[in-house]
Structure 1
Amino acid sequence: MKKRIIAIFLAAVLCLSLAACGPKESVDPQNPDGPQTGEVKKSSKDTLTIAVAGDIPSLKGGQNSRTTASLCWPTLFTLNETAEGGYEYVIDEYSAAESAEWSEDQKSLIVTLKDGITMHNGTPLTADDAVFSIAYECTTGNTLNASPNMPEDGSGVEKVDEKTVKLTFNTVSVDNWNLAAQFRIFDKESFEASNASDLTVYGADAKNFVSYGPYKLKEFAVGDHVTFEKFDDYFAGNDSTIKTVIVRRIDESTVAMMELQTGGVDVIMYPAESDIADVENGMYDNIKYNSAAGLYQQLIVFNLDGNSLCSNVNVRKALCYAIDRKAMWEGAFESSGLFADTPVSRTQEFIQTYEEPYPQDLAKAKQMLEAEGIEEGTTFTVLVDNDAYRTTAVEMFKNVMVEMGYNVEIRTGDNAAYLNDVLNTTDWDLEFGKSGMIGSVAYWIGSQWPFFHHGNTAVEDFSDFYAMQNAILAEFDDAKRNELTQEFMDAYVNEYCISYPIRQDVYGNLMAKNLEGVTRWGEQWNLIGAYFTE
């Protein structure tokens, strides 16, 4: 059974991609038992080392933590890439769920677990484990992207029988599929026996942590490395020759790159853009790069709050006409990632490319601003964090605005200070940031709304827009939801002009050229067919 992914709010987000499979063997019909053309010789190397920048404080938590957790603590459904470059949660051979069906009122999801799933301690995965895990995430602040649309007292999950659980949501929404998909199941008895105060503590406890993934937690040295060992009883089978996986913290990209060149690590996650360029330009014969569209876009978000100059849609459109997005991508972002040719991240469902909606036209921009009473000398306030790409983009924006006779005040700081300004202040007009979700674009808009106008203090009437959003979330038929999404995105871009993207991020790794068979990485690593060639 396969279901389309619905939305994720990604303040800390997921990443995933597909790598090419290893070479195939071709059988010589004249000598079927002899050496075959293209036969792959697998190396005896059985340890894979992955370099990540930044701490991994626990298997529970932020980006590196979720990446690491996927090896031993997978989500309930499986995250796959679609042919269109988006992502969806599906039920397949790697899912703990055998099936999942909506109730008649579409408010509940009845999930049947597979038979024969063995946990890392040798006990069977049961409905009791699933109910305990999901209820715990709902009742505490220790969520692993758990559903925000279920009762916080844990009453939304119940055991139907030994293999079936029922998830009941607060509202009817097609997005509840995705929210359910993100739950992770752990062993109830091991958690209780560990005396862990929360999932963060439990997720760093190699002695007691128990789940059901293809690798199990062996050692956790916070701030340094995490080690996993192959779990031979993984229910989906694990024929990988890789017996040990080590995730090392290496903050300096130059150090990580040197280690990759010399074999100290086999994969660099989130590599430096300059190193990616060097690999793609053929500077190394033992390193390859694999990538796919990422979950984030770098974009300009307009503040719709009534205090903002951008509360006027024609001002927002004028600013779009002032910007040369392609020049900004090539200059500020050094042509990294992909040029944004979709209005929001292409990882969302039913998102289509578009022609440039607001080609740069400074005369038109100036005329539109003046028509709305924005006189020369007016100051626009811009928020940005201290990311080098984004601060450069803001300087490019400032230059063009000054050319037209306007002033730009730039407020910058570290990520925490920047986010505090975005969320808790209204005396700014636009911000250069990044945002991303996968699944229903309507859910993304709804989740981002506080960023846009701080609790519906906009002076514009968005009631029709809200109605379009609600219609998408209430529609369970893919074809109809596709049609509604196109109408919604047309309004988003052409009628309301809510944000303006610059770059589509990509996710990928630099890895040893002789590493084959890695078919997913990031949020859900899949190494069960991986091996090194000689």
Structure 2
Amino acid sequence: MLGQLPLAQAQEAKKGGTFVVGLTQAPRHLNGAVQSGFATAEPSTQLFASPLRFDDKWAPQPYLAETWKLDEDGKSLTLNLRKNAVFHDGKPVTSADVAFSIMAIKANHPFTTMMGPVEKVDTPDAYTAIVRMSVPHPAIVLAMSPALCPILPKHIYGDGQDLKTHPRNSTDVVGSGPFKFVEFKPGQRVVLERFDKYFMPNKPYLDKVIFSIQPDMASQILSFERGDMQMIQVSAPTDIARVSKDPNAVVTAKGFEGIGSINWLAFNTTKKPLNDVKVRKAIATAIDKNFITKALMGGYAQVANGPIAASSPLASADVTLYPFDLKKAATMLDEAGYKVNDGGERFKLTIDYLPGVDDQQKNVAEYIRTTLKKVGITVEVRASADFPSWAKRMATHDFDMSMDQVYNWGDPIIGVHRTYLSTNIKPIVWTNTQSYNNPKVDELLNSAGQILDPVKRKAYYATFEKIVTDDAPIVFINTVPARTVTSKKVGNVPMTIWGPMSPYDEVFLK
């Protein structure tokens, strides 16, 4: 990134070479304007430039916009675009493209709160775009990030076709990012090559970037060890331990601060006995988070205690905690009126888990089954055949408890509000599927979402975190121990708050 320039010069950035990046998930297409997630974002941020980018200190940096200004009332963001940016087909990037893209993201992206307050984008001239909002929107600057706001060419995507299924999301993709499209073989690879007319002088350094899709992590690690890949991401403790022993590997936890991924146990608060806060608190007290992070996760994960990831500048440490105490948990269940019957059982529950990340999900679900047995709760662990079947259970609220992994996405407005607002109780996965309803929380979040002063805003979120941890619709367990693993040959590893979802224009091979 811009902040890495002295480093790049110190390391004498070399031009050329092919950078092979491993992906475990297969992107459906390459257009990040209508799709969230790592699989789409990593190639999308190479193809499409965004108005701004962010450094590793959460500070915005120029990108397509050379300068920008959020008005004092927080209701308009002016972007002054650079005049030398062109799309891969040679057409200039103008304010019309920015206006088209932001309204397209508002209409199509799954993060509805991200551009929710945006009413229109004015274009007084070809290089000025003014984002107009109905209310102050402190998340708007962060929403200009590469993974969240790719600028699409209006002359291609403004043809009236549905953006979610537009053919140019997957074939002959045209953006203004550092690399241009060569090939997309779904489920196999994405091949990109250096864009010679990229607007950042003398960048990118690499000739080619290849995203190699290998769903099996063990195969991916073997490919990395053989030297066939130069960058992969791991989060399973066994995988972290293995790559950490590789003398040719550099392993870093930096670069995931923006994502803010939390592993948690969610309750369906409409179902008996989980509609009783005393029962939820008793279950929280029966879970040993230190055992989970140390024994089950090899010490690579940190305990999570609240809805805002600790890596966020808006996180508060003043939350309601539930120190592990089986005796106390049993007493709490007695006091809630759920006595043990002759068979030693109080009641039965099911626990689901997100498939595909067993170390974070299945293993923790099995541990919870074991520990709750000790306080008289019989738990059945339910496996889902695949992600769609798990997602359907969540969307239809057909669960008692479920393990889940949810991202903060940089700003609470984008990734946190969706889980706790009563207006977001919807038949869609990763909404408020807990059916949690607290008018005070709604009020706090709606207010915090319009406060520009970060200190004042943080105070609102601190109150919100205190209430939510006391209501316990969710037991926060751990931060997901994501790691970027690169070959020692890689210079300027992407370590901004967006990590591997940053543009690779500074990356080089030594």
Interval of TM-score (by shorter of Structure 1 and Structure 2): 0.7 to 0.9
SS of residue in 1 equivalent to 2:451: coil
Contact 1:20/1:517 (8 A) holds in 2: no
What is the aligned partner in structure 1 of residue 129 from structure 2?
165
What is the aligned partner in structure 2 of residue 3 from structure 1?
none
Contact 2:305/2:321 (8 A) holds in 1: no
Q: Which moved more, 1:155-164 or 1:70-79?
A: 155-164
What is the aligned partner in structure 2 of residue 485 from structure 1?
461
- Mapped partners of 2:424, 2:100: distance in 1: 38
**Aligned-residue RMSD, C-alpha:** 3.5
Matches within 5 A, 1:8-157: 46-60=17-31, 61=35, 62-82=37-57, 88=58, 90-96=59-65, 98-102=67-71, 104=73, 106-139=74-107, 141=108, 143=109, 149-150=115-116, 156-157=120-121
Q: Does 1:388 align with 2:364?
A: no
Contact 1:343/1:354 (8 A) holds in 2: no
Matches within 5 A, 1:428-507: 428-441=399-412, 444-449=415-420, 454=425, 462-493=438-469, 495-507=470-482
- Mapped partners of 2:423, 2:292: distance in 1: 22
CA 1:527/1:172 → structure 2, altered by over 3 Å: closer, same or farther?
Answer: closer
The aligned amino acid for 1:218 is V
Matches within 5 A, 1:316-465: 316-340=280-304, 343-353=307-317, 357-376=321-340, 377=345, 378-386=347-355, 387-389=357-359, 390-413=361-384, 414-425=386-397, 428-441=399-412, 444-449=415-420, 454=425, 462-465=438-441
CA 1:192/1:511 → structure 2, altered by over 3 Å: closer, same or farther?
Answer: same
1:199 is displaced (CA, Å) by 5.8
Contact 1:423/1:454 (8 A) holds in 2: no
1:20 is displaced (CA, Å) by 12
Q: Does 1:532 align with 2:478?
A: no
1:396 is displaced (CA, Å) by 1.6
- Mapped partners of 1:122, 1:160: distance in 2: 23
CA 1:199/1:215 → structure 2, altered by over 3 Å: closer, same or farther?
Answer: farther
Q: Which moved more, 1:223-232 or 1:155-164?
A: 155-164
1:504 is displaced (CA, Å) by 0.5
CA 1:97/1:57 → structure 2, altered by over 3 Å: closer, same or farther?
Answer: farther
- Identical-pair percentage: 18
Q: TM-score, normalised by structure 1?
A: 0.80
The aligned amino acid for 2:253 is S
1:93 is displaced (CA, Å) by 3.0
Contact 1:49/1:247 (8 A) holds in 2: yes
1:457 is displaced (CA, Å) by 11
1:523 is displaced (CA, Å) by 5.4
What is the aligned partner in structure 2 of residue 11 from structure 1?
none
Contact 2:422/2:442 (8 A) holds in 1: no
- Mapped partners of 2:471, 2:492: distance in 1: 45
What is the aligned partner in structure 2 of residue 187 from structure 1?
153
Q: What are the Cα deviations for residues 472-506 of structure 1, in whole angstroms up to 9, with x where unaligned? A: 1221111111222222222222x322322222013
- Mapped partners of 1:440, 1:474: distance in 2: 12
Structure 1: which 5+ runs fail to align? 1-15, 26-39, 83-87
The aligned amino acid for 1:517 is N
The aligned amino acid for 2:353 is V
- Mapped partners of 1:482, 1:379: distance in 2: 39
1:444 is displaced (CA, Å) by 4.4
Contact 1:218/1:227 (8 A) holds in 2: yes
Residue 279 of structure 1: which of 239, 243, 247 is its match?
A: 243
Q: What are the Cα deviations for residues 184-242 of structure 1, in whole angstroms up to 9, with x where unaligned? A: 21222244689897565212223xx3221112222223332222222233222244542
- Mapped partners of 1:457, 1:505: distance in 2: 21
SS of residue in 2 equivalent to 1:346: coil
CA 1:477/1:111 → structure 2, altered by over 3 Å: closer, same or farther?
Answer: same
1:325 is displaced (CA, Å) by 1.0
- Mapped partners of 1:146, 1:458: distance in 2: 19
Q: What are the Cα deviations for residues 283-321 of structure 1, in whole angstroms up to 9, with x where unaligned? A: x2222212234521111122222x332222222211111
- Mapped partners of 2:434, 2:184: distance in 1: 48
CA 1:430/1:517 → structure 2, altered by over 3 Å: closer, same or farther?
Answer: same
Contact 1:322/1:400 (8 A) holds in 2: yes
SS of residue in 1 equivalent to 2:62: coil
Q: TM-score, normalised by structure 2?
A: 0.83
Structure 2: which 5+ runs fail to align? 427-431
Residue 302 of structure 1: which of 244, 259, 267 is its match?
A: 267
Contact 2:302/2:478 (8 A) holds in 1: yes
SS of residue in 1 equivalent to 2:215: coil
- Mapped partners of 1:217, 1:241: distance in 2: 17
Contact 1:147/1:179 (8 A) holds in 2: no
SS of residue in 1 equivalent to 2:291: helix
SS of residue in 2 equivalent to 1:519: coil
The aligned amino acid for 1:111 is L
SS of residue in 2 equivalent to 1:242: coil
CA 1:215/1:369 → structure 2, altered by over 3 Å: closer, same or farther?
Answer: same
- Mapped partners of 1:368, 1:133: distance in 2: 53
CA 1:228/1:263 → structure 2, altered by over 3 Å: closer, same or farther?
Answer: same
1:146 is displaced (CA, Å) by 7.0
- Mapped partners of 1:382, 1:488: distance in 2: 27
The aligned amino acid for 2:178 is P
Contact 2:262/2:304 (8 A) holds in 1: yes
- Mapped partners of 1:338, 1:191: distance in 2: 43
1:452 is displaced (CA, Å) by 11
1:148 is displaced (CA, Å) by 5.9
- Mapped partners of 1:46, 1:158: distance in 2: 41
Q: Does 1:201 align with 2:167?
A: yes
